[in-house]
């Protein structure tokens, strides 16, 4: 039973446009959410996180939105750049940043010049 779901295996956007990656979760006990980016043959790299007491967190071109009632979060990348092309993983935890991270299956983003 998947507790964290990324229903879009892939997404393609034009350079300069907005990329929106979505993630749904089923466990209402999750209190911390993260996004990681992964390039081929490398480990996941932390991108941005959000605590369940917030509904938005921004870091440069990256913004994460959390809708607790819908158990949904999204990552917005504006503007998208070719270097953003990677697999993006959504992860959730019940114990803050130190808890066991439950990952989604990932969404492969392709940003075309």
Partner 1 sequence: EAGVAQSPRYKIIEKRQSVAFWCNPISGHATLYWYQQILGQGPKLLIQFQNNGVVDDSQLPKDRFSAERLKGVDSTLKIQPAKLEDSAVYLCASSSGAHPYFGPGTRLLVL
The span from the CA of 67 to the CA of 11, in Å, is 21
Residues that bind partner 1 (CB under 8 A): 4, 34, 36, 41-46, 49, 89, 91, 97-98, 100-101, 103-106
The span from the CA of 15 to the CA of 107, in Å, is 17
| Least Cβ distance, residue 84 to partner 1 (angstroms) | 19
Compare residues 4 and 13 and give the one whose CB is closer to partner 1. 4
| Least Cβ distance, residue 42 to partner 1 (angstroms) | 6
* The pair of three-digit structure tokens given for residue 29, joined into one six-digit string: 């006990």
């Amino acid at each position: 039973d998947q507790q964290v779901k990324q229903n879009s295996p892939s997404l393609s956007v034009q350079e300069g446009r907005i990329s929106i990656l979505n993630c749904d979760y089923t466990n209402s006990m999750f209190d911390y959410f993260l996004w990681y980016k992964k390039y081929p043959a490398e480990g996941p790299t932390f991108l941005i996180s959000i605590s369940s007491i917030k509904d938005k967190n921004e870091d440069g071109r990256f913004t994460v939105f959390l809708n607790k009632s819908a158990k949904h979060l999204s990552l917005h990348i504006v503007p998208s750049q070719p270097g953003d092309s990677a697999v993006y993983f959504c992860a959730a935890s019940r114990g803050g940043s130190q808890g066991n991270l439950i990952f989604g299956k990932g969404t492969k983003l392709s940003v075309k010049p």
